[in-house]
Structure 1
Amino acid sequence: MRRIPSILAVLSVLLLAGCATKTRSDALTTTLNAYGSTLRWGDFQSAAQFIDPALRAAHPLNALDLARYQQVRVTEYDNGAGPVPTGDFDVQQTAQISLVNIHTQSERTVVDHQTWHYDEKTKHWWLTSGLPDITQD
């Protein structure tokens, strides 16, 4: 009879941990979908809002970056196999982004290696790798 309260306590802790993991997973899915949609529309300025606030403050988008992003149109965003956990609060995702230069009409694809971190305090996933480097060949 003494074991039943102990077993119930352990099950309760596991259930709460599972709920936290489900909430974190749902938030990741929502965040990655919103980020992908934002990039598909080519709205790099709004996509910058997904970057960790401390990183965004330390490295704000400058006029040259914004001008580069305005010279391309996103034609495809493919996040491949999706996010891969690298820790309890971190995931990595590799996306291929097809871009067309609006002046030359030439198309190319860049590979974007994304790193995302979950902030337990704000219950929010933040992009820690920055916006895609569209200058790569």
Structure 2
Amino acid sequence: MQRWGTERLDMRKWLNLLAVLLLALMVVAPAGAQGKRKKGSQLEAMQLAYATAIRWGEFEEAWQLVDPAYRNAHPMTELAFERYKQVEISGYTDKNSSLSEDGNVLRNVELRVINKHTMAERTLRYREEWRWDPEAKRWWLAVGLPDLWDGE
């Protein structure tokens, strides 16, 4: 037969244990969420820096935000950079973003491009793919600069 006092003591121990566990969870959960928020804000900052560089014709600066593995596999020549000087980007609009199966962020962008020689403006779509590098703890653009000439 159990006495009333010990049952109450056991209940108090369980409540104390539950309170400690909840407190620990409250301390640990925001740390994980903060890491995701920080990663998200880093992505936004990288995308803004890239969009700004493209918008203002700073293609060499934008190239520095491209994944080094991609840059090594697809080096840009001086001539390629000179070709970008023949156009002006009059609009850079983020249309939508999504998450790929491998965790990369896909962003569809609409670019308005003006040929400086003919002053003709055209619109094209471009898909950015952003990859998180856990070693460098930063985002990289996993694809190269936009092809403004459709492969010509």
- Please report the TM-score for the alignment, with normalisation by the length of structure 1: 0.88
Unpaired runs of at least 5, structure 2: 1-15
Q: Which amino acid aligns with 1:46?
A: E
Q: Which has the higher mean CA deviation after the structures are superposed, 66-75 or 44-53?
A: 66-75
Match of 2:45 among 5, 27, 30: 30
**Which runs of structure 2 are paired with 1:1-137 in the superposition (5 Å)?**
1-81=16-96, 83-86=97-100, 89-136=103-150
| 8 A contact 1:110–1:136 mirrored in 2 | no
Greater C-alpha radius of gyration: 2
How many Å separate the matches in 1 of 2:95 and 2:42? Answer: 19
| 8 A contact 2:70–2:143 mirrored in 1 | no
* 1:4-63 deviations in Å (ceiling 9; x for gaps): 333333333322110100100111111111111111101111110110112112211123
Evaluate the alpha carbon distance shift between residue 87 and residue 25 of structure 1 in structure 2; reply closer, same or farther with a 3 A threshold. Answer: farther
Percent sequence identity is 32
Unpaired runs of at least 5, structure 1: none
Aligned Cα root-mean-square deviation (Å): 1.9
1:89: how far off?
4.4
